[in-house]
Structure 1
């Protein structure tokens, strides 16, 4: 774990380098940074400055904006609400630039606490103020340190109260659920806090209003709440949360949102949210029974026509998850899925990432199913794998996915081995194995399942 260090301690070290060791300012600063880094200190949010040369507000504009916000929160500011909104918007812009350390600087210097307080004190009638405050807050909470400050400041309850009182404002809902997503990322305790406050029931209530289905952050919040991404936790509770989301009907509402053509910009997030809920066969089957597979196949057709690879990939990924159920596999194929996926691959023939998703989906559909493997070969999926390997030799993910799909096409279908070997698949697999280390295991298994004795060479 990184060692915590304050701005004052950092400044003192630079000052000591100059006064006690006689270093010039630039040397003293560089030495402090290097020494503390070697000691494992956490320098995120530390302003690297030479004490006395410039105030923190001159070194980093975030400090100036924070001082303005703190003055307003304490009643010491003579500025009006419009000026406050401008400061909040400026902070949001500054902290949204990921290449800079602005968010860490703001979080280290009380930014999370002051923003939570400002949002708590703002009334729902001050919509423009709340929207700016929530956006700024969502840009600050990016790591465990900042999300813990959010939790300790009663952030989950304050944000939930705001959301419950603003069900008619899509802008406040968007800002509020952005905070839910940002604050829950990588923090199991914050996820639990939101679940204790019944965020799942609030999400269902919000989504039942069709006009709210354009609120993309709502889908992001579902996905993050149901993702086990806190590496400090041995056993995450999110699997249980996913089942609860499904039990109260959120999966069904998500399918309806897809059916009624959610905004294209929100569709990938909606698919990711539904994928996060589909954690067992029962839920996967219920999604299918509510028309989820029909909707996704239609979306794939439209994505191919519109050449929207983002939507194409997210729909294929969700279908792969649903195809974990054998009943759903049959349903996908009976509805012409194999033909649709092949058409999609041809429309994106120059994009290996789409081809990878198609091959990954076919890999799932043919798993433990000789009948599906025979049909896939007859439709041309063996040729698709070979052409992908020929066309994208430098793409390790493409080569690996082709090998994995080939395995399922041939492992229980000896007749398919003959077909692919005659088309020269062995040379391509051996080449992928030699060039790409990440393909070695998949390539070896593919050669073995093709019936080759020297598969491990």
Structure 2
């Protein structure tokens, strides 16, 4: 049976090597690992890369937190530069890994930071630099550890949003809120329930690109559905609230920025908030469709811009009327051009093919518009290039199926390019998507073996 030790036992052994045998911290750590492994100790639960003080032999994380605790509990607080230095040590250690953050949590880092933040924001003449360092440390501690975020944290975040105008502090709070939303449904519900959306909405009008990008990140995090501990999340409800509050404003902001990174963030955010078909119409009416098509014309060489624009168009196609308008306004040749330029890029190929699939689903006119651009050859070439990509093969099969299902006279366009052989080859290479590939072969009029999954068990003859 494997032997295990506590983190404190490991730390004490390193300290002994430093203090008693005058080893450097790195030498002491390496020697300690060798000693325990030689004894058959399993160190899988130990943080072996802690940074130790070369004089005291203690982990600098523990020393920093002990000093911060003393600052809170005694009547002789640390000087601001010393306090900031210890907060920086805490942040640096937490940024190393999740185990470092867990250890910091066990050493009461969260309680320490909350006490410092509460004390600082209650001052009429608060120290902006100190508050910034405390918030940055809180962000580092919360990263992939959202369970520590509680009502006290939320109250502090709201108070800072309500009282502070410093862009740095506002960005700190936004990043903190975003971190606590990832993989934590209850935090998202608490934030929405505290009417934080009303406090975030004015921030998108500040004409500050960095703040706008951070606000967009929070919006996207609020509509995540990634917490496996919760059976049913509120992503759809949050999406509706946000869409009604900011969708039109975000769409209008697209034309106010030239920075492509900002534009892409806005497009991605709008796409994540279009959770109902009526929101597609709202965005189109606000000029979103025209803007996205102009981007494909203006930046066909930009992978990021094209990728986000295609995702945006796919989201807009959730409304049948808007789906017609997208193609009527010339999307087909633009999408074909982008796919042709970037067909060697797997990520862009996935997005472009699923966009074609969505736009041609059950709409004959849209399919014909894509056929007129001679896109079948490009789709087949893309399949050849990414033969090992299951998602590309699946998305291409969907695009082929949707394009020919109502335009059977166009099947030859794909068959003459070799689509049948590629689809059959993909069935061998990617057996988990055989049904998608078979549906494309079926609608192309090719021979395909369809397996009857279930024939029933009762021996009953149906008379009529």
TM-score by length of 2: 0.82
1:87 and 1:268, CA in 2 relative to 1: closer, same or farther beyond 3 A?
farther
1:122-141 alignment, distance < 5 Å: 122-123=120-121, 125-141=126-142
The structural deviation recorded for 1:332 is: 1.3
| Corresponding residue of 1:174 | 171
Matched-pair contact (CA < 8 Å) for 1:112–1:149: yes
Q: Deviations over 1:71-123 (max 9, x none)?
A: 3333476542223223333433333344x632222223222222222222223
1:428 and 1:327, CA in 2 relative to 1: closer, same or farther beyond 3 A?
same
| Corresponding residue of 1:443 | 437
Q: Deviations over 1:394-422 (max 9, x none)?
A: 23322222111111111121112122112
The structural deviation recorded for 1:66 is: 2.6
1:27-426 alignment, distance < 5 Å: 27=37, 31=41, 33=43, 43=45, 47=47, 58=57, 60-75=59-74, 79-98=78-97, 101-123=99-121, 125-143=126-144, 146-151=145-150, 154-166=152-164, 168-211=165-208, 214-248=211-245, 250-261=246-257, 263-304=259-300, 307-426=301-420
Larger radius of gyration: 2
Cα distance in 2, alignment partners of residues 346 and 66 from structure 1: 56
Matched-pair contact (CA < 8 Å) for 1:227–1:276: no
Secondary structure of the 2:82 match is: helix
Q: Deviations over 1:22-74 (max 9, x none)?
A: xx95148864556xxxxxxxx5xx64699xx999x957543333333333333
Matched-pair contact (CA < 8 Å) for 2:175–2:218: yes
The structural deviation recorded for 1:423 is: 2.0
- Aligned-residue Cα RMSD (Å) equals 3.1
Q: Deviations over 1:160-208 (max 9, x none)?
A: 1111112x22211111010111112121221122112211101112112
1:161 and 1:386, CA in 2 relative to 1: closer, same or farther beyond 3 A?
same
Cα distance in 1, alignment partners of residues 327 and 59 from structure 2: 58
Secondary structure of the 1:101 match is: helix
1:261 and 1:436, CA in 2 relative to 1: closer, same or farther beyond 3 A?
same
* Worse-superposed segment, 419-428 or 105-114: 105-114
The structural deviation recorded for 1:278 is: 0.8
1:172 and 1:29, CA in 2 relative to 1: closer, same or farther beyond 3 A?
farther
The structural deviation recorded for 1:222 is: 0.6
1:70 and 1:269, CA in 2 relative to 1: closer, same or farther beyond 3 A?
farther
* Worse-superposed segment, 387-396 or 220-229: 387-396
Cα distance in 2, alignment partners of residues 80 and 299 from structure 1: 53
Q: Deviations over 1:141-163 (max 9, x none)?
A: 134xx4232215x1111111111
Cα distance in 2, alignment partners of residues 262 and 95 from structure 1: 36
Cα distance in 1, alignment partners of residues 110 and 209 from structure 2: 27
Cα distance in 2, alignment partners of residues 159 and 113 from structure 1: 15
Matched-pair contact (CA < 8 Å) for 1:222–1:273: yes
Counterpart among 36, 49, 73 of residue 26 in structure 1:
36
Cα distance in 2, alignment partners of residues 263 and 285 from structure 1: 26
The structural deviation recorded for 1:238 is: 2.3
Matched-pair contact (CA < 8 Å) for 1:213–1:257: no
Secondary structure of the 1:137 match is: helix
1:158 and 1:420, CA in 2 relative to 1: closer, same or farther beyond 3 A?
same
Cα distance in 2, alignment partners of residues 243 and 32 from structure 1: 50
Matched-pair contact (CA < 8 Å) for 1:214–1:263: no
Matched-pair contact (CA < 8 Å) for 1:160–1:199: yes
Matched-pair contact (CA < 8 Å) for 1:255–1:291: yes
Matched-pair contact (CA < 8 Å) for 1:223–1:273: yes
1:150 and 1:453, CA in 2 relative to 1: closer, same or farther beyond 3 A?
same
Unaligned runs of 5+ in 2: 13-33, 452-464
Unaligned runs of 5+ in 1: 13-23, 35-42
